[in-house]
Amino acid sequence: MRAIKRLFGGVLFLALIAGAAYGYVWYQTKTFLERTVQSTAPFAQLSYRHFLVDPRGLVHVDGLQIIPQGYRSPIDIGAVTLRSDDPLFFLDPEGRIESGEFPDFLSLALDNLSLDIGSDFVKAMQPSEAELLLHMQQPNLDALGCGNVLAFTPDVATQMGVGRTVTDMAITLRANNDQGTLDIFTEVDTTGLFSLTTDLSLNFAAGYLKPATFAAANPRLRSMEIDYRDLGYFAKRDRYCAEAAGVDELTYRENHLTLVKERAQAYAMRVPPILWQAYSDGSAKGAQVRFGMSPVGGLGAEVMLGLGSPIELIDRLRLRLTVNNKPVDLNQVDWLALMPDPEAALQANRPVESKAGGSLVDTPEVQASKPQQAAQRTQAEQADEQSDTRSAVSQSAMIEFPGMIPKPIKTPEVKFRRTGFDDLGQYINSDIRIFTYFGNRVEGRLEAVDGDTIKILHRVGKGLAVYPVDREKLEVIEVMR
């Protein structure tokens, strides 16, 4: 009898501990939700119906509604669910994250995120038709051939039949701070439009996966996979644009592809037939496009700085592309030929006369504004040409624009200025900013010039590192002077 009492007492004690732990997690969750509601007050009105806490590692919030400040239309979320394989994580999630003690599995799911495309805050963010005509010299690439449409704005989407979107979203995180690995998997499914999944794998310096030291973690991409599936968007687009252009859907698709090719040709881009076929197949009804990369040895900042050209980078990435389950042979692609020529792009971006399928046609408002815009461009070009002269030669006064009262020139400001490689020797220990041949930007202090190599002291996280860069990899050099 005494043993039974002890057993009952032990069970009751464990139940009390479990109840206390559950009550603590419940209280922590409620406090967090209330704090979140208060913190969003200046930006939006946030509310929810009720929440559930499962001691096995689940927090579930039902009936969220977000109304942006100053508007009336809401964003509705059916439910938000947070799961973890470590129930103790929810006792102190902020403390665990700050210390880098992540659970092996953590996921966040949003169900039935509903948004009305005609909402007042959505319409407030979109440019008016007059603004589009004034600032867009040509239609967006995806709007080519779609009648007089310049861009697929929310108003156009509504006319296409996309009145309200309903989206399910999930983010899964697998982190191991001791081994320095991080995997992020996301899923997005918008009913009747598309689905998108991404799988990202990273390596980083072990022990650095926490807010205080993440900048010094030196993350390196191990692999990336993107999977896009059309669930009805292209069918809606083809039907709408064919009607807007006054043709059947097949003719619209042919016209669209022709105009896209003309745009690429105007930019001096040489696109191989295999990519045109992939573009056509990947933008058709029910298309599935998968894109991935697995960089050799991983890809980080120090690796990119050590590469000599975009081709070296592309070869290292090990790119792969599959359209409708058919692999695309990317070995046939001349990547340098795909790059647009800046001068050709500048010429191509000038307003053009109407073409079949809906290229931009100047409206009276745009035509009336052309002389004024041309005068402004001329003044801007002249100001750019004279800026270096003004900064180098002292003058008593200048006229910035016709009609303005002359005013004294200020002392030339110290700023980053273009500098030739051969002149760098006189700027040792000066602040320097470089852009490499394939677009990387590095900013730091010029430590030395050794033949055809410069050494830059560059901040990495909370420390410093010296990066050597060869002259042949430099595209732009700027020194603070």
- d(CA 35, CA 119) in angstroms, rounded, equals 27
- d(CA 217, CA 203) in angstroms, rounded, equals 9
Element at 223 (helix H, strand E): strand 220-230
Is the distance from CB of 142 to CB of 236 less than 8 angstroms? no
Please state the separation of Cα 214 from the chain's center in Å: 20
pLDDT the model gives residue 395: 39
320 and 437 together in one domain: no
3-state class percentages of the chain: helix first, strand second, coil last, to nearest 5 = 40, 30, 30
Write the DSSP assignment of 397-457 as a string of letters: -B-SSTTSPPBPPPPPPP-EEE--GGGGGGGTTSEEEEEETTS-EEEEEEEEEETTEEEEE
* Coil, helix or strand at residue 158: helix
Torsion of CA 145, 132, 130, 403, to 10 degrees: -140
Q: Within 13 Å, how many C-alpha atoms sit on residue 454's CB side?
A: 33
* Coil, helix or strand at residue 347: helix
150 and 231 together in one domain: yes
Residues in the chain: 481
pLDDT the model gives residue 10: 61
168 and 312 together in one domain: yes
- d(CA 442, CA 457) in angstroms, rounded, equals 10
Report residue 132 as tokens.
């589009």
Q: Indicate the residue among 319, 348, 377 that finishes a domain.
A: 348
Please check whether residue 32 lies inside any domain of the structure.
Answer: no
- d(CA 460, CA 127) in angstroms, rounded, equals 40
Please check whether residue 220 lies inside any domain of the structure.
Answer: yes
131 and 246 together in one domain: yes
Q: Indicate the residue among 300, 330, 348 that finishes a domain.
A: 348
Find, among 55, 162, 186, 178, the residue nearest to 109 by Cα. 186
Q: What CATH code is carried by the domain that includes residue 452?
A: 2.30.30.100
Report residue 101 as tokens.
């003690």
- d(CA 426, CA 448) in angstroms, rounded, equals 10
Please check whether residue 449 lies inside any domain of the structure.
Answer: yes
Report the first-to-last Cα separation within the chain, whole angstroms. Answer: 90
Domain that holds residue 459: 416-480
Which sign does the torsion angle of CA 300, 302, 307, 309 carry? positive
Report residue 64 as tokens.
């969220």
Report residue 333 as tokens.
């692609």
Please check whether residue 356 lies inside any domain of the structure.
Answer: no
324 and 469 together in one domain: no
168 and 296 together in one domain: yes
pLDDT the model gives residue 41: 77
* Coil, helix or strand at residue 385: helix
The tokens 């004034």 sit on which residue? Answer: 134
Question: Alpha helix (H) ranges present in 41-183?
Answer: 93-98, 120-125, 129-135, 154-160
- Judging by DSSP bridges, how do beta strands 220-230 and 288-293 pair with one another? antiparallel
pTM to 2 decimals? 0.67
Q: Is 38 exposed, middle or buried (0-12, 13-18, 19+ CB in 10 A)?
A: exposed
- d(CA 100, CA 112) in angstroms, rounded, equals 32
Between helices 273-282 and 249-266, what is the axis angle to 10°?
140
Please check whether residue 259 lies inside any domain of the structure.
Answer: yes
Beta carbons within 8 Å of 44's beta carbon, 6+ residues apart:
66, 67, 68, 69
Please check whether residue 274 lies inside any domain of the structure.
Answer: yes
Question: Alpha helix (H) ranges present in 225-351?
Answer: 233-245, 249-266, 273-282, 301-306, 310-317, 342-348
Phi/psi zone of residue 61: left (φ > 0), alpha (ψ -120 to 50 degrees), beta? beta
Element at 184 (helix H, strand E): strand 181-190
* Coil, helix or strand at residue 226: strand
- d(CA 114, CA 414) in angstroms, rounded, equals 51
Number of domains in the chain: 2
235 and 325 together in one domain: yes
Q: Residue 110's CB: how many other CB atoms inside 10 A? A: 17
Please check whether residue 293 lies inside any domain of the structure.
Answer: yes
Q: Indicate the residue among 327, 348, 369 that finishes a domain.
A: 348
Rounded CA Rg of the chain = 29
Please check whether residue 150 lies inside any domain of the structure.
Answer: yes
Question: Alpha helix (H) ranges present in 40-69?
Answer: none
81: phi then psi, degrees, rounded to nearest 5:
-125, 130
164 and 282 together in one domain: yes
Between helices 233-245 and 249-266, what is the axis angle to 10°?
90
335 and 431 together in one domain: no
Is the distance from CB of 96 to CB of 89 less than 8 angstroms? yes
pLDDT by residue for the chain (481 residues), tens only, comes to 566 656 656 656 565 665 666 676 677 777 777 777 777 778 888 888 888 888 778 889 999 999 998 888 899 999 999 998 887 787 777 788 888 888 888 999 999 999 998 888 888 877 766 666 666 667 888 999 999 888 888 889 989 988 889 999 999 999 888 888 999 999 999 999 999 999 999 988 888 888 888 777 888 899 999 999 999 999 999 999 999 999 999 999 999 999 999 999 988 899 999 999 999 999 999 999 999 999 888 888 777 776 666 777 788 888 999 999 999 999 888 888 888 877 776 776 665 444 444 444 444 433 444 444 444 444 444 444 444 444 443 333 333 334 344 444 444 567 788 888 888 988 888 888 888 766 677 888 898 898 889 988 877 655 677 778 888 888 889 998 8
426 and 334 together in one domain: no
Report residue 269 as tokens.
């881009």
435 and 336 together in one domain: no
314 and 424 together in one domain: no
Torsion of CA 251, 255, 258, 264, to 10 degrees: -140
pLDDT the model gives residue 460: 66
